[in-house]
Amino acid sequence: MARNAFYAQSGGVTAVINATACGLIQAARRLHLLHPDRIGKVYAGHDGIIGALTEDLIDTSLESDADIARLRYSPGGAFGSSRYHLGPLATHRAHFERLVEVFRTHDIGYFFFNGGDGSMGAAWHLSQTLAELGHPLTVIGIPKTVDNDLAMTDTCPGFGSVAKYVATSMREAGFDVASMARTSTRVFILEAMGRHAGWIAAAAGLAAERDGDPPHILLFPEVRFDAERFLARVEECVRRHGYCAIAAAEGLCDDGSCEIGGQASGELPSHTRAGGVGRFVGELIHARFGYKYHLALADYLQRAARHLASGTDVAQAHALGVAAVDRAFQGKTDIMLTLRRLSDRPYRWEIGEVPLRTVANKEHRMPAEFISADGFHITEACRTYLQPLIEGEDPPPYRLGLPDYVRLANHRVPRRLPAFVP
C-alpha cells in the first residue's frame, strides 16, 4: 500500500520555507503519478508537529497545482509552524505512542521535518523512538533558519533572503541618513536578528562597498562589546563622514555570557526588553555625544520579506524540498539535507546529506577570520562567503500594488481517532 508523507514546519518561519514545501509537494505529486503504489499523499501538520499529535492533518492533495506553485513565492509557514518540544520518551511516552497511532491510522511512512538545529535533534530522536515503538519511518530533515547557525551546511534556506533584506535596508537607510546628518540625525542603528551568531548583522556589511559607505560599524555577539572602544569609533565616524550607520545583532554581549537587550518581547525581564540592543547603544551614544539617533527594529519584517527574497535562497529552498522527496524515495533515512558550496565565483552548489544524529546542537557562529581585526566589520573572506547568497531577484507577482501571496484552503484530513491533548 502507498505510504503517505507527513511534512511539518518547525520553529521560526522564513521568507522561503514555503518554497521548500512547494518543491516537496511538487516532487511528491510527480512521484505519485509514476508510482502510485509507493507514495501517496502529502499531509502537512497543522502548526507543525502539534498537528501530528492532535491528528490535525492538512491534505495538501486537495490544493490545485497552481496554488502549490504559488507557495514558492509566499512567506510565512503555509500550514502553521510551532516551537514545540516532544520531550524524552521516559516522561512523554504517551506523546510518542500517540504519534505512532496517528501515523499508522493515516498510513504515514515518510516524515519530513523542516526546521533548525533543535528540530533536527528532535527528528533524530523521533526516528529512533518510533522505530523502538514498532513504527519505523523514513525521516528526512530539511534545514531552515534565518540565523544561518546550522553547522554542516554551507548556508540555511531563509538566511540569504534576510541577508539581502538587511543589506538593502542598510544601504537605503544609509542614503537617507547621509542626506540628513548636517542638521538632524547623526546616528542610525539597525537592530538585526541573531541571538547567538552575527550572520545577519554581518550581511548588512555587504551594503558597504567603498571606504566610508554605510554601515560603518557592525556589532556581533561573537565580539565582546566594549563601550569605550565603540564610542570612540562612532565619534571618529561622525567626524569623518558626518554620520554613523550601525547594524547591531540583537544578541550583543558585554561579557562572554549575557545579552545586553534584544528584541525578546514578552520573554525577558522588562529592563532588558524595554529597548533592546539598538536602544541601548543609541542611548549610550546620545548620552556621550548628544547626537540625535534613529533606530530601526526590522523584527519579523526581515524574515518575512519575500518581496525582496534572494534568488539563490529561493532556488535552494525549493531544490531541498524536491531532494527530500527524491532521497526518501531512494530509501535514504535519518539524514539532514545540506547545501554544499562547490565554488564561490561563479557560485556553484549541490545538495548533500549528513546523518541526522550528527547535526543536533552544533551551533555555527561566525569564524574569527570573517570578523575584521578591530571587531567592527567583516573581512573579505566573509564577503566572499556571503556575496552569492544574496544574489538574484525573484519577486512575487503583485496585485493592487501588493505582493499577491497565496493562502491555501488547508482542508483537513477527517479525524479517525479520539481527541488527544498534548
> Within positions 372 to 391, which residues make up the interface with a second copy, using CB under 8 A?
387, 390-391
Q: Which of the following is catalytic: 56, 59, 117, 147? A: 147
Report the alpha-carbon distance of residue 350 to residue 54 in Å, rounded.
37
Query: Minimal distance in Å, beta carbon 416 to a second copy?
Result: 23
55 binds a second copy (CB under 8 A): no
Contact indicator for 248, 190 with CB cutoff of 8 Å: yes
Exposed/middle/buried for 212, CB within 10 Å: 0-12, 13-18, 19+?
A: exposed
* Greatest C-alpha distance within the chain: 73
157 binds a second copy (CB under 8 A): no
Q: Which of 251, 275 has the CB closer to a second copy?
A: 275
Q: Which of 227, 301 has the CB closer to a second copy?
A: 301
Pattern 298-327, binding to a second copy, x per CB under 8 A?
xxxx-xxxxxx-x-----------------
- Annotation-wise, does 91 bind a ligand? no
Cell triple for 145: 533558519
Closest CA relative to residue 285, chosen from 335, 235, 218, 213: 235
Cell triple for 259: 545579552
- Annotation-wise, does 99 bind a ligand? no
For the stretch 90-102, what's the b/e string if a residue is b when 16 or more beta carbons lie within 10 angstroms of its beta carbon? Answer: eeeeebbbbbbbb
Query: Minimal distance in Å, beta carbon 355 to a second copy?
Result: 28
Work out which of 5, 21, 39, 50 binds a second copy, going by CB under 8 A: 50
- Annotation-wise, does 180 bind a ligand? no
- Annotation-wise, does 302 bind a ligand? yes
Pattern 242-271, binding to a second copy, x per CB under 8 A?
---------------------x-xxx--x-
Q: Which of 200, 297 has the CB closer to a second copy?
A: 297
- CA torsion sign for 115, 345, 372, 378 is negative
- Which residues between 114 and 143 bind a second copy (CB under 8 A)? none
Closest CA relative to residue 339, chosen from 104, 157, 82: 157
154 binds a second copy (CB under 8 A): no
Q: Which of 372, 387 has the CB closer to a second copy?
A: 387
Query: Minimal distance in Å, beta carbon 299 to a second copy?
Result: 4
Specify the stretch interacting with a second copy by CB under 8 A; choose among 77-85, 90-98, 101-109, 317-325: 77-85
- Annotation-wise, does 146 bind a ligand? yes
For 109, phi and psi rounded to 5 degrees?
-120, -15
Specify the stretch interacting with a second copy by CB under 8 A; choose among 132-140, 219-227, 330-338, 393-401: 393-401
275 binds a second copy (CB under 8 A): yes
Specify the stretch interacting with a second copy by CB under 8 A; choose among 26-34, 124-132, 170-178, 371-379: 170-178
Q: Give the helix ranges, DSSP H, for 106-217.
A: 117-132, 159-180, 199-204
Specify the stretch interacting with a second copy by CB under 8 A; choose among 19-27, 59-67, 223-231, 286-294: 286-294
Report the alpha-carbon distance of residue 190 to residue 214 in Å, rounded.
11
Active site residue 147: yes
Contact indicator for 221, 253 with CB cutoff of 8 Å: yes
Cis amide linkage into residue 136, ω under 30° from 0: no
12 binds a second copy (CB under 8 A): yes
- The contacts of residue 196 (CB under 8 Å, 6+ apart) are 147, 149, 221, 251, 363, 365
Q: Which of 137, 386 has the CB closer to a second copy?
A: 386
Contact indicator for 47, 81 with CB cutoff of 8 Å: yes
Tell me the residue type at 118. Answer: G
Query: Minimal distance in Å, beta carbon 85 to a second copy?
Result: 10
Q: Which of 94, 301 has the CB closer to a second copy?
A: 301
346 binds a second copy (CB under 8 A): no
- Annotation-wise, does 12 bind a ligand? yes
Closest CA relative to residue 80, chosen from 27, 37, 44: 44
347 binds a second copy (CB under 8 A): no
- CA torsion sign for 231, 236, 238, 241 is negative
Report the alpha-carbon distance of residue 14 to residue 106 in Å, rounded.
29
- Which residues between 57 and 76 bind a second copy (CB under 8 A)? 74-76
Number of residues binding to a second copy, judged by CB under 8 A: 81
410 binds a second copy (CB under 8 A): no
The count of other CB atoms within 10 Å of the CB of residue 248 is: 31
- Which residues are the active-site residues? 147
